[in-house]
Amino acid sequence: MNRLIRGIGSSCWVPRYRQTSSWGATFRLYSHSDAIKSIDTSLQTLLNDNQNIDVQNVRVLNVQRGEQATTVDIVGMLRSRNVDDILSVHSDVDCNALENSKNTLGNVLEPRVWHGQLESLPAYMGPFQMIIVDADMIEESKKRDILRQCSMITRPGGSIIVWSSREVVLEDTLIEDAMDNLCLEMADSGSNVLVFRVPEHFALRDGIRYMEGEIVTGYGRGSKELGVPTANLLPADVQGEIVGLPAGVYFGWAQLMTSESQQESDGLVHKMVMNIGKRPTFVKDNSPDISIEVHVMHSFQQDFYGQRMKVLVVGYLRPEMKFDTIQELLNRIQTDIGVSRTQLDGEFWSRYAKDPFFD
């Protein structure tokens, strides 16, 4: 069975996650100028759902293959809604250059164009509240990468809108992958676009997870020498608690079970960032054991192998990736730590440090 997502007013089928995974069918996005209306509707929904964002500071990314008349339509529509902070990625030209549509003195926001691939877009140009992606781009061979890249530069609560100006077939597995491995939500959409959303506060779909386990020796790859020691939890202790969590980076709170002789601050509840996965940057083997590694944001007096740790996982940041160099992995881990710290300092997650789970 094919699911057609057509123009406003025509009968359409709103995809839902559970149905998607059981049907094994195909999505077809097919639209034209109605898509612009749907993108507009998504913008209004975004603004309504996020009381703390107003239109003046919405940052939008528009991803498409090249210069097309539709760029003007999308940008024109956004500007008519007073959105000025717009960056378009035109991936047909590979020169990695940024260009303003008009020459301004630099203190006036004007739509800008990045000529280059999405993956080479410098991180400081994001994050975005809204990313508009031409489904044509997703249909291509590296389709999964595009959604993954978008998910990593979207703010929590922000939307990724997939649209098309011609008929494009998107496989169900792509949508499943977005939900299961990128932990995106499918925002209800009764129109001819697919709207994904990064959960508010990066919250896990099925709620927070409590874990407790013994700290064991890792793989001797010297995370400590890299500046990011990771306490490896004994997989058998937490295997039930990690069910359904995709390989990736998480954050939350951790408490080491200390003895009398240890410094008091070492036994307090601290912020943590955690990697669950197979460390593809280092491990070439296709089926290594899963490791569950916790970097605690605290400077401990001494190592604590053999002791137990309580971990409360509250949010999911990104999928685990294979980096070309260790430096790139380290840079990304520093970003993960920064983003997690900001989230955990916020009102929404800070109260979990006082969860009765902790002593």
Residues contacting ligand RBF: total by CB under 6 A: 20
The CA distances from residue 112 to 3, 35, 93, 108, 126, in Å, are 35, 22, 15, 11, 13
The C-alpha atoms of residue 349 and residue 201 are separated, in whole angstroms, by 8
The C-alpha atoms of residue 95 and residue 9 are separated, in whole angstroms, by 41
Q: Which of 232, 258, 275, 343 binds ligand ADP (CB under 6 A)?
A: 232
The option from ligand ADP, ligand RBF, Mg ion, none interacting with 305 (CB < 5 to 8 A, set by class) reads ligand ADP
The option from Mg ion, ligand RBF, ligand ADP, none interacting with 282 (CB < 5 to 8 A, set by class) reads ligand RBF
Residue among 156, 191, 166, 239 nearest 37 (CA): 191
Should residue 127 be labelled a site residue for ligand RBF when binding is judged by CB under 6 A? no
SS3 291: strand
Residues contacting ligand ADP: total by CB under 6 A: 20
The two structure tokens encoding residue 261: 């002789």
The CA distances from residue 255 to 6, 12, 271, 292, in Å, are 51, 49, 9, 15
How many C-beta neighbours within 10 Å does residue 340 have? 25
CB of 275 to ligand RBF, least distance (A): 3
Closest CB to ligand ADP among residues 14, 226: 226
Helix axes 33-49, 69-80, angle to 10 degrees: 40
Stretch that binds Mg ion, among 14-22, 27-35, 193-201, 213-221 (CB under 5 A): 213-221
Residues belonging to the active site: 293
Q: Which of residues 274-303 bind ligand ADP (CB under 6 A)?
A: 295-296, 298, 300, 303
Stretch that binds Mg ion, among 142-150, 212-220, 236-244, 317-325 (CB under 5 A): 212-220
**Is 309 in contact with 234 (CB distance < 8 Å)?**
no
Contact residues for 9 (Cβ-Cβ < 8 A; gap 6+): none
CB of 219 to ligand ADP, least distance (A): 6
Q: Which of 230, 255, 258, 343 binds Mg ion (CB under 5 A)?
A: 230
Please give the full DSSP string across 97-130, using - where no structure is assigned: EEEESS---SSS---EEEES-GGGS-GGG--EEE
Residue nearest to ligand ADP (CB): 218
Could you tell me which residues are beta bridge partners of residue 146? none
Should residue 291 be labelled a site residue for Mg ion when binding is judged by CB under 5 A? no
Contact residues for 212 (Cβ-Cβ < 8 A; gap 6+): 237, 238, 308, 309, 310, 311
CB of 230 to ligand RBF, least distance (A): 5
Closest CB to ligand ADP among residues 36, 249: 249
CB of 250 to ligand RBF, least distance (A): 9
Please give the full DSSP string across 151-200, using - where no structure is assigned: HHTEEEEEEEEEE-SS-EEEEHHHHHHHHHTS--EE----SSSEEEEPPG
The option from ligand RBF, Mg ion, ligand ADP, none interacting with 147 (CB < 5 to 8 A, set by class) reads none
The option from Mg ion, ligand ADP, ligand RBF, none interacting with 304 (CB < 5 to 8 A, set by class) reads ligand ADP
Residue nearest to ligand RBF (CB): 281
Edge-to-edge strand list for the sheet holding 168-171: 2-5, 26-29, 168-171
Q: Which of 321, 348, 352, 353 binds ligand RBF (CB under 6 A)?
A: 321
Closest CB to ligand ADP among residues 7, 218: 218
Residues of this chain that bind ligand RBF (CB under 6 A): 218-219, 221, 223, 228, 230, 249, 273, 275, 279-282, 293, 295, 320-321, 329, 333, 336
Residues of this chain that bind Mg ion (CB under 5 A): 218, 223, 230, 232, 293
Residues of this chain that bind ligand ADP (CB under 6 A): 215, 217-224, 229-232, 295-296, 298, 300, 303-305
